[in-house]
Structure 1
Amino acid sequence: MEKSTSFIYPITDPNWIEKLCRWADLHFDFFAFTNGNAHQYPEEPFATRFFAGHKQLAENEIWGISSKFQKVGIIGYDFKNHLEKLQSENEAFFELPEICFFQPSFTLDFDGKNIYSENELSDDFWKEIARIKLPFSADTTCEVSPQLTKDSYLETVNTIQNHIIEGNTYETNFCQAYAGSFESWDPISAYFKLNELSRMPFSSLFKAKSQWLVSASPERYLKRTGSKIIAQPIKGTIKRGKSAAEDAANRETLASSEKEQAENLMITDLMRNDLSKVSKTGSVQVKELFGIYPLPRVFQMISTIVSDLKEDVTFSQIIQASFPMGSMTGAPKIRTMEIIDELESFKRGWFSGAFGVIEENGDFDFSVIIRSIIADLEVKKLYFGVGSAITYDAKAEQEYEECGLKAQAILEVLRGN
């Protein structure tokens, strides 16, 4: 994505982006901020951008071939039910739209030093931003509790492994949720606090009227650039070390783990198969297998799959072929999603869906919605999910600990640690 060079403004206030979000919250029904946090990520992280608007898009405007305008939004996990003969029978914490996109009327790009805008920013705009005073004395804490006991989690892992023995699934991404309610909770402050604690390559903040996504996602779902499509499943996690020596040892432990490689390979193969449905014959290739990348609290094992799209393939067809991200389901995909719905205790909603931006020319970039808080300020509730891949040789206690590691930064924000 090339930055507009029509108007360039230097960033002189280090808190300017938070002020911009406060301003947008007052003036727009929808806004989004994406931030790659300058990560050295394969195929680049999210660009640092801001979008705001009032117009929520109807489904035909999202999927329409002739819709040549920018779109920003979310495809919830339960949209799977429209793609396959599936259902979501578990209770939702609160109702969320399965698809929620808006058309931006205001867009800015950033490079760390400058603001780029296609249109000149008025004096009134700058005055309004200047009047916003920080820090806000806003509450980011919320009483949250796990929705599944440890004993129930361990028992469910055993059930999944019995499914594996019976041949129903090879790998299942089993998730648990934390949930809570509040009187007052500030998603903007929560986002900036979470981004301080866990600077991720697909960090994002999304407002859709009263509903919010506060995301510190490490994972890309799909990126399209022209005829090229990229998928980057993550499977394989280990904590960062407390010293350089421990850090290096942990990295090597993950890199050499046959179990983690087996998990990653299954999902890499699944994504190769998904992309082959919309790609030119013979063009699907694994650009990198089992890449180990450092993030603030964990190392992740990431594989990168690339291909050349068939002529005239639409966004709708790409989603039909590949959604949800295989790393959040397991394999084989459809039967495993049935098992997930049978065994999980909550309706995933936006969690493990996808958030991103579709450009006017059809290019797009979407993250997987993980390590993310989902909230509704009207019903005064929030939740987040964490999960891991259960395979035949998975150790239930270790998987439970991995879920705790993934929940750590969000719990620090919500509990005020």
Structure 2
Amino acid sequence: MAGDGLVDEEYRVAFERVQERLHAGDSYEVNLTHRLRVESGIEPAAAYLRLRELNPAPYAGFLQHDVPGARAWLLSSSPERFATVSTSSTSGKGSTTDGQRLLETKPIKGTTPRSDDPVVDAEHRDRLASDPRYRAENLMIVDLLRHDVASVCEVGSVEVPQLMEVESYETVHQLVSTVRGRLRSEVSTVAALRALFPAGSMTGAPKLRTMEVVDEVEASPRGAYAGAFGWVSGDGRADLGVVIRSLVTAGDGRWTVGTGGGITVLSDVVEEHAEAALKARRLLEVFTPS
């Protein structure tokens, strides 16, 4: 393929193996990811403050697990909601009444870069909203999540109030949908979160078979990357983000950055590699002196 010289060999081989699985009918879409390794003496707290400055996002978070023999820090600037569980009464479409709980997830699938030129920036935004490849990727994940949400929600309550809307962040435009439903009374909050895990946007569809493909083709375990983090309250409420656009370290000066994107039969290896690099770019700038 023209331009293959721009893609590192490990990614190209993994991409080709994914394409083989897609053409064999094992999957419709595979979220192919890889890990970047960085060495830096920057302290986690300082790195997080710089990350917030470079890449502000709704699911920003600083998690410290400072236990002897298992020290770890997660620094997140994630734009993606894994799930919320709400117990409060609301009004309007998708409303709940007292005693009911609303489960909501907001998958992101589809990314284009921002531009300092307003005209070019608008073109990138419009392309994301209209390109058949991005829309197909997003729709497949929405269907997957409708199934996951329906498995723990009341019959007839699952809806998609937002389908393929563009949200703009510091460095990228993203195609975002919303899937939600009313949790069945016998389903606990933890059980609901377990039913959605891992995030469909970070696996592909169908989920279980695609996870097997991911395990076969990715060169290293994902670790915390592509998981979820947030809080769960004793009253049943919860709010968790997807672990993307995040940095992980054990406090030893070695850092891991995960990045990737959804692959379909229409995907181009050079474009997908460039998209993954774009997602990681601001995170890597944390380690560059300002």
Determine if the TM-score, normalized by the shorter chain, exceeds 0.5: yes
Q: Which residue of 2 aligns with 1:145?
A: none
Percent of aligned positions with the same letter in both sequences?
36
2:83–2:193 Cα contact (<8 Å) kept: no
**1:229-244 counterparts in 2 under 5 A?**
229-244=103-118
The whole-number CA distance in structure 2 between the counterparts of 1:177 and 1:198 is 19
Shift of 1:319: 2.8
Shift of 1:195: 0.8
The whole-number CA distance in structure 1 between the counterparts of 2:42 and 2:258 is 19
Q: Which residue of 1 aligns with 2:13?
A: 155
1:354-388: per-residue Cα shift (whole Å, max 9, x none)?
000112211000000001001101x4432111010
2:31–2:203 Cα contact (<8 Å) kept: yes
For 2:200, which of 297, 301, 326 is the aligned residue? 326
**1:12-411 counterparts in 2 under 5 A?**
150-182=8-40, 184-209=41-66, 210-226=71-87, 227-377=101-251, 379-411=252-284
Shift of 1:334: 0.8
1:262-290: per-residue Cα shift (whole Å, max 9, x none)?
00000000000000010000110001100
Structure 2 stretches lacking a partner, 5+ long: 1-6, 88-100
Structure 2 letter corresponding to 1:266: M
Shift of 1:247: 1.3
Q: When the two structures are superposed, what TM-score results if normalisation uses the length of structure 2? A: 0.89
1:249-307: per-residue Cα shift (whole Å, max 9, x none)?
11111110110000000000000000001000011000110010110000000000111
Tell me the secondary structure at the aligned position of residue 230 of structure 1.
Answer: strand
Rg larger in structure: 1
Aligned pairs, how many?
A: 267
Q: When the two structures are superposed, what TM-score results if normalisation uses the length of structure 1? A: 0.63
The whole-number CA distance in structure 1 between the counterparts of 2:38 and 2:164 is 36
The whole-number CA distance in structure 1 between the counterparts of 2:65 and 2:23 is 43
The whole-number CA distance in structure 1 between the counterparts of 2:117 and 2:200 is 34
1:205-227: per-residue Cα shift (whole Å, max 9, x none)?
11110310111101000001011
Segment drifting more, 253-262 vs 173-182: 173-182
Q: Which residue of 2 aligns with 1:44?
A: none
The whole-number CA distance in structure 1 between the counterparts of 2:50 and 2:175 is 26
2:50–2:286 Cα contact (<8 Å) kept: yes
Shift of 1:201: 1.1
2:85–2:189 Cα contact (<8 Å) kept: no
Tell me the secondary structure at the aligned position of residue 84 of structure 2.
Answer: strand
Tell me the secondary structure at the aligned position of residue 200 of structure 1.
Answer: coil
